[in-house]
Amino acid sequence: MKYDYIKSRPLNRQEKGRLRLAIKLDRRLRSVTNADANQISNQPNGNTPRLSSGRKSDHLIQDLLAYFSSPSAEVNQAVIDWALCYVSARILQRLISTHAQEWPERGILGLLKHSEPCLLLPREHITPDFQSFQRLRARPKTALICFTGNAHRLNMPVQLFHIFAVGSFDLVIYLRDDARQRFIYGIPGLGNNFEELSGKLREFIPRGCHTAILSASSGGLAALRIAEYLGAHKVALFSPEFSFKNISGVNDSAKLSSANTRLFFAKNHSFDTKLAKKWATTQLIDSIRWLDTSSHGTLSYLVYTNKFFALATWLAGNGECPVLR
């Protein structure tokens, strides 16, 4: 495994608070015995941790442990998302090794239960601007570059998406724009605009490597522009923004093939409908696909309806599955 990351600014107050909480959680986990776990899981309200920032950290940790240690715990997406966003890979590994035997086989907890700890993103809990994860040190043959939206997610915690994606690509790169300017000013340490950022990304991808681009929401504008610069083989944009500060996602001279590009929108979401109408005025009109959901989180819809691996198969250079046509 080969991993690189860039965090362009110091941790802010909120991030420092989460890190302190994670350290406390780690210490508590190291002291947990089986008897402790049983005692924790039998406490009142154990299945419904309250994640408000004003709660005392000891109480929050107790609630988190109660949730993860209870074999009858129902899926609480807020708790799982919080852990995947703000808990380090090492602590996630400890949670899995301590409690996973009691988790259900299906759903998100089942996915975590059977995930390989060594394939987690080691620094995701500090929200890096750039992360590069290569499964094997051998020359990668397939690469996926992911552009997050303004929420710095991919409609779901990046760590969760990574668990789905890492088995399908040799190299996966994740990008965040801390300034929330749609990457038009690049990423500190990687370039000051689309072109410079593209040049830096090219250094991570060997010649001849099949390259795919994926984005969520406002990350779509940069994703399409940089796909052009890199000559990406496949592109999948989920509810992509059309323009920002008079910069459009599509160049007049765009050369991306509509056959190798997919723009997914929510059929029953008014904002997505408006976005799709704008994209329909471009040469990518035939790339538009509608998903039967009322949520702007179209990528998470595809994942939670068990269609992600069909997408990954297509992105990796294979044929398109009927569920995506």
Q: Where is pLDDT greater, at 226 or 136?
A: 226
CA atoms within 13 A on the CB side of 186: 15
Amino acid at 301: Y
Q: Which two tokens stand for residue 164?
A: 């789905």
Domain borders along the chain are 9-119, 129-324
Q: Where is pLDDT greater, at 93 or 153?
A: 153
Q: Which of 8-12, 172-176, 200-204, 253-257 has the lowest mean pLDDT?
A: 253-257
Predicted TM-score of the model (pTM)? 0.90
Q: What is the mean pLDDT of residues 240-252?
A: 87
pLDDT tens digits for range 106-159: 778 888 888 888 899 999 999 999 999 999 878 999 999 999 999 999 999 999
Q: Which of 49-58, 81-90, 133-142, 164-173 has the lowest mean pLDDT?
A: 49-58
pLDDT band at 72 (very low <50, low <70, confident <90, very high): low
Average pLDDT over all residues of the chain: 87
Q: Is the dihedral of CA 257, 221, 198, 127 positive or negative?
A: negative
Q: Which of 18-27, 194-203, 229-238, 272-281 has the lowest mean pLDDT?
A: 18-27
Determine the Cα angle at 105 with ends 18 and 63, to 5°. Answer: 30
pLDDT tens digits for range 298-312: 999 999 898 999 999
Q: Which residues have a Cβ under 8 Å from the Cβ of 75 and sit 6 or more positions away?
A: 107, 108, 109
The answer on pLDDT for 49 being more than 60 is no
Q: What is 129-324's CATH topology?
A: Rossmann fold (3.40.50)
Q: Which residues have a Cβ under 8 Å from the Cβ of 214 and sit 6 or more positions away?
A: 144, 145, 146, 147, 154, 223, 235, 236, 237, 238, 299, 315
